[in-house]
């Protein structure tokens, strides 16, 4: 039946059409109609993609070849991938979502093998990185055996992608979960190639303390954390030390089976960090940073003392006791290691009063975006949370950045593969629109059960990547080459969005310095205004995001050439 429908819709036993690189395949829709030649405007040294859909109009399986021609002089790291449909946590098997992007098997230079089931429709994703120092129009053809070629033009402007522009990308992750646990070096490289600048670095090394807080000597260089440090440090990533999960479980070697007390109440009933815990934290932190420095990674460390602190049930007296304890913890981190940046996440329940208290103690402030319109708990019923964040908290954050150079980033808790690809592309632009210079996600590799099965664990899989070593049937079927870190369409789209954001930030900086022509300044201001609107109300249009991407590259090239 599928073959019959494909043939009826396309009039062909094998139909091939160009599609948007960031458009998800939807099996409920008919095959894509043939389109005209695609034009892709790009800078040198950036990642790009093209999309193709192939519809089998016969009730027989096929093994076809796909040939890519014309990219050789203009691009490197060329890889042809296919979108794979997977079940999702929320709808289980009722609805599948195209997300994983395993590579097709290469059959020679510029040639890949494409297996097609009877009546199957497949969407392909051609990814590549443009070469530097090249200018010109490069005709590209994508030819599936037995069908006319799909044609595109890669227009390299001659300007270089402004990779040096600082734009943060914080990826929350678990080094103990695959593929990071089994292949940390490959994961580190993948993170770096997606413009990641900082990662969550959780789990304190296994150590013990004396009752007075003194550290029992141990060789930290032999810990799992030391291997992780080498892998991620060599990739140029900053590691945000996150030991909060162990704060109440510092082992007391003088009383086996017990732990050092983290807090105690003072004479006024306020929670305070105990003297022995202060010493213990200071000594393990110093020992770890000493190893990091001796290993050449001393400048790659940050301290993420507490995650998403908020007054919560004490919202009526915000900042509440828990928030004041967080404030003490961040002051302690600075007292112990004044040269190490302190990172904090502003979560969904962090109130303006909470932010105002902690703000002076944070060096990299990472605010969740978007904030919910209202809160279902820990706030008065009339409280408008997003409005308070945009109109009060954001103003405080901007002032603090201007006062002392604090970095202002953002992050987003992803709902896994149900998040739209369009959101990933537009998110970095929306962040820039709100005056932020970084993004982040929860989470790079957090999954429960197999990464290829969103329904086999106790929670959904938040992950942006898939473990290519799993014996899951989908991985075995679609990833025969055994690629270890298989990206998702969302992960590639986020990288594309970060590239747009870096170009926009570069132009914004030049505009502030008076180094843009009047015409370009007006155009950049118009884009920034639109991006601010995205930041305030995250409703996106794919055609508009496409236009911004091309327009930004045209403006940037024009200014680079002094035109």
User: Which tens digits make up the pLDDT trace of 375-419?
Assistant: 999 999 999 999 999 999 999 999 999 999 999 999 999 999 999
- 540 pLDDT above the threshold of 70: yes
Mean pLDDT of the chain: 97
- Measure CA 403 to chain center: 28
pLDDT exceeding 90 applies to what percent of the chain? 95
Lowest mean pLDDT among 159-173, 204-218, 417-431, 445-459: 445-459
Cα–Cα nearest to 332, from 357, 305, 366, 310: 305
Cα–Cα nearest to 552, from 518, 504, 520: 504
Lowest mean pLDDT among 51-55, 85-89, 285-289: 85-89
- Range 2-160 classified under CATH 3.40.50.10860: no
pLDDT of residue 563: 58
Residue 97: DSSP 8-state: E
Q: Which of 5-14, 257-266, 451-460: highest mean pLDDT?
A: 257-266
Q: Strand, helix or coil at 215?
A: strand
Residue 34: DSSP 8-state: P
Report how far apart the first and last C-alpha atoms of the chain are (Å, whole number): 57
Q: For the chain, which residues make up each domain, given as ranges?
A: 2-160
User: Which tens digits make up the pLDDT trace of 307-354?
Assistant: 999 999 999 999 999 999 999 999 999 999 999 999 999 999 999 999
Two tokens, residue 458: 């106790």
Q: Strand, helix or coil at 4?
A: helix
pLDDT exceeding 70 applies to what percent of the chain? 100
């Amino acid at each position: 039946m599928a073959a019959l429908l494909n043939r009826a819709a396309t009039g062909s036993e094998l139909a091939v059409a160009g599609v948007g690189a960031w458009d998800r395949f939807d099996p409920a829709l008919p095959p894509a109609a043939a389109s005209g030649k695609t034009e892709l405007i790009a800078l040198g040294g950036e990642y790009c993609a093209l999309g193709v859909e192939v519809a089998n109009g016969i009730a027989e399986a096929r093994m076809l070849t796909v040939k890519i021609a014309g990219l050789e002089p203009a691009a490197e790291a060329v890889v042809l991938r296919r979108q794979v449909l997977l079940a999702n946590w929320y709808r289980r098997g009722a609805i599948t979502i195209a997300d994983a992007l395993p590579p097709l098997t290469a059959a020679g230079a510029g040639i890949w093998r494409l297996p097609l089931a009877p009546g199957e429709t497949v969407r392909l994703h051609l990814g590549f990185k443009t070469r530097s120092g090249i200018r010109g129009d490069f005709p590209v053809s994508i030819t599936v055996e037995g069908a006319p070629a799909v044609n595109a033009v890669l227009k390299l402007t001659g300007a270089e992608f402004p990779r040096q522009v600082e734009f943060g990308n914080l990826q929350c992750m678990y080094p103990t979960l695959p593929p990071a646990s089994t292949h940390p070096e490959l994961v580190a490289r993948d993170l770096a190639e997606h413009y990641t600048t900082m990662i969550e670095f959780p789990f304190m090394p296994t150590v013990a303390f004396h009752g007075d807080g003194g550290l029992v000597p141990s060789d930290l260089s032999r810990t799992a954390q030391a291997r992780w440090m080498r892998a991620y440090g060599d990739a140029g990533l900053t590691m945000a030390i996150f030991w909060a999960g162990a704060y109440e479980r510092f082992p007391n070697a003088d009383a086996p089976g017990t732990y050092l007390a983290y807090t105690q109440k003072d004479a006024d009933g306020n929670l305070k960090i105990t003297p022995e815990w202060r010493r213990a934290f200071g000594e393990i932190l110093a020992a770890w940073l000493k190893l990091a420095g001796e290993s050449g990674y001393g400048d790659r460390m940050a301290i993420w003392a507490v995650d998403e602190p908020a007054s919560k049930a004490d919202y009526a007296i915000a900042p509440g006791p828990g928030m004041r304890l967080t404030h003490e913890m961040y002051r302690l981190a600075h007292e112990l290691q004044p040269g190490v940046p302190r990172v904090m996440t502003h979560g969904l329940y962090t109130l303006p009063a909470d932010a105002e208290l902690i703000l002076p103690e944070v060096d990299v402030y990472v605010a969740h975006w978007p904030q919910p319109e209202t809160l279902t708990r820990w706030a008065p019923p009339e409280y408008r949370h997003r409005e308070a964040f945009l109109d009060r908290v954001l103003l405080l954050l901007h002032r603090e950045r201007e006062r002392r150079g604090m970095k202002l980033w953002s992050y987003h808790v992803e709902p896994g593969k149900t998040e739209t690809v369009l959101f990933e592309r537009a998110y970095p632009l929306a962040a820039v629109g709100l005056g932020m210079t970084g993004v982040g996600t929860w989470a790079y590799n957090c999954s429960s059960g197999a990464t290829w099965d969103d329904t086999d664990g106790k929670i959904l899989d938040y992950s942006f990547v898939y473990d290519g070593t799993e014996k899951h049937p989908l991985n075995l079927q679609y990833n025969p080459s055994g690629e270890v870190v298989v990206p998702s369409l969302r992960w590639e789209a986020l990288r594309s969005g970060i590239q747009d954001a870096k170009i926009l930030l570069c132009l914004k900086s030049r505009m502030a310095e008076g180094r843009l022509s009047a015409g370009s300044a007006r155009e950049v201001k118009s884009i920034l205004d639109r991006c601010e609107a995205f930041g305030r109300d995250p409703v996106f249009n794919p055609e508009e995001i496409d236009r911004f991407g091309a327009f930004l590259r045209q403006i940037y090239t024009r200014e680079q050439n002094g035109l």
